[in-house]
């Protein structure tokens, strides 16, 4: 973990195996950690953002992944870089997501 502000913002780097033959450099996934309200706000904006996942499918509120201790949503930028928004405020996020109409 790398942080320049006492832990409010962090960059986590992980070791791993290449995902495809010949792919040895570059990043494979960048995750942004947010609090519960930031995560819920991001989910509410998905319809307007028209983001796509790495399979080129539109990302919706139904794309939220419940990891039991965290929630994540995965998408790709226009250049195909895989990105993630995640929160570890699982109880507050679960309540907010289930309260949505």
Higher pLDDT, 43 or 20: 43
In a domain, 11, yes or no: no
Average pLDDT over residues 22-37: 77
In a domain, 22, yes or no: no
In a domain, 85, yes or no: yes
In a domain, 66, yes or no: yes
In a domain, 14, yes or no: no
Domain of 72?
Answer: 30-99
In a domain, 58, yes or no: yes
**Per residue in 78-87, is it b (16+ CB within 10 Å) or e — as a string?**
eeeebbebbb
pTM for this one?
0.74
Residue 7 has pLDDT above 90, yes or no: no
In a domain, 8, yes or no: no
In a domain, 13, yes or no: no
Look at the chain and report how many structural domains it folds into.
1
Residue 21 has pLDDT above 90, yes or no: no
pLDDT in tens, 32-89: 899 999 999 999 999 999 999 989 999 999 999 999 999 999 999 887 889 999 999 9
């Amino acid at each position: 973990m790398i942080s320049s502000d006492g832990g409010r913002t962090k960059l986590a780097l992980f070791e791993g195996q290449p995902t495809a033959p010949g792919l040895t450099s570059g990043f494979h996934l960048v995750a942004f950690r947010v609090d519960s309200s930031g995560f819920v706000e991001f989910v509410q904006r998905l319809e307007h953002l028209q983001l796509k996942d790495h399979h080129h499918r539109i990302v919706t509120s139904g794309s939220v992944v419940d990891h039991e201790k965290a929630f994540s949503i995965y998408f790709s930028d226009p250049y195909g870089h895989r990105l993630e928004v995640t929160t570890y405020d699982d109880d507050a996020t679960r309540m907010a997501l289930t309260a949505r109409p």
